Structure 1
Amino acid sequence: MTAVLDNALARLPVGAPARFRHLLAAEWIKLWSLRSTYWVLGAGALTVIGINVNSAASNADRLAHQQLPSEPPPGVPTRPELLFDPLHTAFVDPAWQLLMVITATVGGIAVFGEYTSGLIRTTFTAVPDRQAVIAAKVTVVSAVMLTLGTLVSGTAFGVTQMLLREYGGLSLGDPGALRAVTAAALLAPLCALVGMAVGAVIRHAAGSIVAVIALLLLVPALFQGERCRWVKEIGNAMPLSAWERLVMNPERARDLGKYPLTITEAWIVYGAWATAAVAIAMLVVRRRDV
């Protein structure tokens, strides 16, 4: 790993500055030169899809066995039909929270991994422009995670709705479906950028991972409830809350309680967190010594 950047820039003339495409190539090599990247992203994607597909299969099985006779015996109450949300079946919370942790961890490794291994000194020696290096990391990681998020989101939605096609399964043209798939796809690069920012600030593997999990999953759980508006608003400003609002079926969004998060506000949360994460990573790396 300590020679990755040198190899990527080896074809440059002596003394020639590295162009941004060379930095992109170097960051691509760094990301995929680790076998753990393949295993973590591949296994994570399959796990997330599997959890959602299992949820859809379970719902389909329960719906298939809830058929009742038209006239139940006297004195036997009619059981209510199973109520379920086909859109929620494609976006089960635990599955996508797992994806948040995985993508944020990989994003953090892209930054703190170089500090813990000492490769960052070689990187900044070869390319003194630290902001260009971070910009290349952001570009490569965002592109990879967007591809991953799109693949996982599209597959989870397509397979689950196919399993539920006889029980109200949805298509992308149904209200809220395309928005949910898009929001889930963008969740992966968003969390990866947050992980990069945390990694740039903490620069320690265990500390960065614990901090990003706390930030993305634990903090939203703490700021819940409707008694105090400012507490609820803080919770609404978290990526997890924004994602939950964006993937919500419009038919289930009629009673959201006090101080609800609107669709527009949820997209703003996405954009604000992504912008802030990139700005923090660039500022911290530029001002702190290696």
Structure 2
Amino acid sequence: MTATTATTTGMSSGERPACEPHARFRDLVAAEWLNHGLLRSTWIAYGATALAVIGFNAGTAYDTYSHSILRESKDRAAFVRDGIPLEEAFTVNAALLMAVALGAIGALVIVGEYSTGTIRTTFAAVPARRSVMAAKAVVVTVVTTVFGMVVAGISFAVTQAILDRRDAGVSIGDPGAFRVVMASALLAPVCTLAGLALGAVIRHTASTMITSVMVILVLPLFLTDGRHWSAVAGHTLPFRAWLRLVDVNYSPIAFPWSTGGAWTVYAVWACAACAVAVTSVHLRDQ
């Protein structure tokens, strides 16, 4: 009875319990969401990337619209049959720009905190480092998936509206159209997570940016389908997977691969990037 009274008295007098409650994961996600949203530079980067990507695609469609090749009905039929409207719905240049830009944004999510030292404060407040990194991964995945959907959807709508003025546009229900939009949209979170993983491992701004450009841009251009080893290695990269997914009139080549394999590359890169980002925080001290 005495012990119970003493305990009750101690708690009522304002004493804190010996162990603080662990932060809930949803609270960490909410905190990372606020942290991500408060950075004006991040939203400027998203906005500039979106405008550039949509502008690239719309500009290509307008060049085609103004070209004389679409003035004859037989030429328009061949144009649609060859799948060119879907090629212009999301062009290669636009995809490369988006991939590199979002890879950089993903890297800066974590590298920025390491460079300013705020990551130490974060880990001091929440010792569960893996949970913090997992929350970052969740936030950037959600934000960039929405970003990709919006950009890919607007690009498709704008380009096909321009081409439709020559009766050369297609609808989202046409064969391969939905796959092109989804593949282009999901390229965004895959590249962002890859940048986040590289930033978590390298932790230096310049080195991370160079490595990100090498992985996302240079390697896909370097690895060609001319040799078996090069083709197989190239097929493991997200950008090459995107190229396969948006090729609606795919013709077998020396080393062919399926759309299922390309979707698998997307999934493996996203999962592996999350795993690397989450586990790397315990590889060395801050």
Length-normalised TM-score, structure 2: 0.87
- The question of whether the paired residues in 1 share the 8 Å contact of 2:225 and 2:255 is answered with no
User: Structure 2: which 5+ runs fail to align?
Assistant: 1-16
User: Mapping of 1:195-214 within 5 angstroms?
Assistant: 195-214=195-214
Pairwise CA distance, 1:217: 1.0
Structure 2 residue matching 1:167: 3-state secondary structure: coil
1:276 paired with 2:272, answer yes
Matching residue of 2:54:
49
* Structure 1 residue ranges without an equivalent (≥5): 1-12, 71-80
- Counterpart among 33, 53, 64 of residue 59 in structure 1: 64
Alignment of 1:209-220 (within 5 A): 209-220=209-220
Match of 1:260 in 2: 256
Q: Which letter maps to 2:241?
A: A
CA drift at 1:127: 0.6
What does 1:1-290 correspond to in 2, within 5 Å? 15-63=20-68, 66-67=71-72, 85-165=84-164, 166-226=166-226, 228-249=227-248, 252-253=249-250, 255-290=251-286
Q: Does the 8 Å CA contact 1:104/1:195 hold for their aligned counterparts?
A: yes
Between the aligned partners of 2:35 and 2:151, the Cα distance in structure 1 is: 23
What residue identity is the alignment partner of 1:118?
G
**Could you tell me how far apart the structure 1 residues matched to 2:171 and 2:132 are?**
41
Aligned-partner residue type, residue 120 of structure 2: R
2:151 touches 2:185 (CA, 8 Å); kept in 1?
Answer: yes
Determine the C-alpha separation between the residues in 1 that align with 2:135 and 2:97. 26
Cα distance, 1:56 vs. partner? 0.7
Cα deviations by residue, 1:215-267 (Å, 9 ceiling, x for unpaired): 011111111132x2111100111101000111112xx31x2421122101000
Letter in 2 for 1:237: T
The Cα offsets for residues 133-188 of structure 1, whole Å up to 9 and x where unpaired, read as 01100110001000100000000001111111233311111111111111111111
Q: Report the count of equivalent residues.
A: 263
> Residues 61-100 of structure 1, C-alpha deviation per residue, up to 9 Å, x if partnerless?
11477449x9xxxxxxxxxx87770000011111111111
Q: Quick one: which amino acid aligns to residue 93 of structure 2?
A: P
Q: Deviations over 1:3-51 (max 9, x none)?
A: xxxxxxxxxx993322112211211122122211111100110110011
Matches of 1:220 and 1:261, distance apart in 2: 16
Structure 1 residues 265 and 84: CA distance shift in structure 2, 3 A:
closer
User: Matched residues, percent identical?
Assistant: 41
Query: Partners of 2:252 and 2:190 in 1: how far apart?
Result: 25
Give the number of the structure whose residues are more often helix, by fraction: 2
Do 2:223 and 2:231's aligned partners in 1 also have CA atoms closer than 8 Å?
A: yes
TM-score, normalised via structure 1 length: 0.86
Amino acid at match of 1:282: V
- Return the offset for 1:128: 0.6
- Asked if structure 1 preserves the Cα contact closer than 8 Å seen for 2:238 and 2:266, the reply is yes
Query: Quick one: distance in 2 between partners of 1:63 and 1:46?
Result: 28
The change in CA–CA distance for 1:248 and 1:225 in structure 2 (over 3 A counts) is closer
CA contact (8 A) 1:63 1:167 kept: no
Match of 1:75 in 2: none
